[in-house]
Each structure stands twice: as structure tokens, then as C-alpha cells.
Amino acid sequence: MTPLILRLDISGTPVTWVPWQDAVSLYCRDMVGWTAGDETFTFYGGTSRHSGLRSSISINSIIAVKRSRSHKHIYRSVPPLTNRELFLRDAHICMYCGAHPRDNKLTRDHVTPMSRGGRDRWSNVVTACRSCNTRKGNRTPEEAKMPLLAVPYVPNWAEYLALSNRKILADQMEFLKTQFSGRKMPFHNQ
């Protein structure tokens, strides 16, 4: 199975993951401005009646698209918050006790509870095991005497793309790492 292709804007800023079929379409429409990465994939089409030759196209694992729609809103916006990406951000570790329970035992905890004005935002949520989440209840970590093991943070777009793809190629990860904010990301390349 071919992994997703990392799509960049023409300036080299990561935009999104695209399936190989979309990448082939971008190549065919001459919309790929430049490529990066060590990995390439070759796909074969049909055989020409006129020449008898089989068509093929090779695509890179990282492509920069020219003349694409503006994605400036992506770079200024906060990446969407989902439990999957939150748990990856926190390395599937409870940020209160340090346990590493199964995913079905993990919860999203609001550092400042929503009932007390806290918001459902990256900077106010952490991964917690069910036991710690219940024990903390409707209190702040200080009130519950449950200090956080790490401060919650908002991942930038490159960090979010790394969190959101389970099968990142080594060259794609290296490219994305150049645009990380400098915080140590808790996950590892699979």
C-alpha cells in the first residue's frame, strides 16, 4: 500500500496529506513545482494502441504544488483538536500519574474544567487515565494536588501533520521536523 504524499505549497510550507491518486493528478496537470524526499513511487497505466508502450508515472513522497489555492488560513489557524491527535501529542501517557494505559482507558481532561470557564482547546487539555480524570473531578490540578507532568501546548501545522498520519515515511518526517517549533515531540516514527 502506497503511503500518503506530503503536499507543500510552492514556498515549501506543509499543507496536507494527499493520496497517491491526487498526487498523480497534480503531476499530470503540471501543477508540481518541485519535489523533495528520497522516496519515489511508480504507477503504471494502460498500453498505447499507437506505440504499444505502457504508460507510467513516478511521483515523489513530498511535492510542492504551484498555482494552488491559498492555504494561508491553515498556517494561522489552530489545528483541529481530536482525541487521537491529543493522545499522540501526549504519547498515550496520563499527564497526572504517568501511566500508559490502553487507548480505551484514556480520556481528555480539561486542565481548567469547562464548568469553571475552561475551554476545549489544545492549551487546556491533556491526556488522562480514567482514574486520574475522575479523581481530579471539577478541580484544577493545583486544587486536586495533582501536578501536570507536562504543560499542554498547541502543535503547529507541521507537528499536527506528523501527529495525524500513522505511516509517515522517514524522508517526510525529516522534512516536517525542520518546521517543528523546537518542543520535543513525544511520538516516534513508526
% of the chain beyond a pLDDT of 70: 91
Q: How high is the pLDDT of residue 183?
A: 59
Rounded CA separation 172/152 (Å)? 25
Longest dimension (CA), the chain: 78
Rounded CA separation 136/111 (Å)? 9
Q: What is the pTM of this model?
A: 0.77
Q: How high is the pLDDT of residue 138?
A: 96
Least Cα distance to 3 among 172, 161, 178 occurs for 172
Q: How high is the pLDDT of residue 166?
A: 84
What distances in angstroms separate CA 87 from CA 18, 36, 108, 186, one per listed residue?
23, 30, 8, 10
Q: Are strands 5-9 and 54-65 parallel, antiparallel or unpaired?
A: parallel
Per-residue pLDDT band at 78 (split at 50, 70, 90): confident
What distances in angstroms separate CA 147 from CA 56, 122, 128, 136, one per listed residue?
57, 18, 12, 10
Question: What rounded mean pLDDT belongs to the chain?
Answer: 90
Per-residue pLDDT band at 147 (split at 50, 70, 90): very high
Least Cα distance to 84 among 63, 66, 108, 67 occurs for 108
Higher pLDDT, 85 or 1: 85
Residue 187 above 50 pLDDT? no
Strand partners, 127: 108
Handedness of CA 77, 75, 153, 36 (dihedral sign): positive
Q: What is the pLDDT of residues 91-132, one digit of tens each?
A: 999 999 999 998 899 999 999 999 999 999 999 999 999 999
- Please state which of the ranges 4-18, 43-57, 61-75 shows the lowest mean pLDDT: 61-75
Q: How high is the pLDDT of residue 67?
A: 74
Rg value, the chain, Cα: 21
Residue 19 above 70 pLDDT? yes
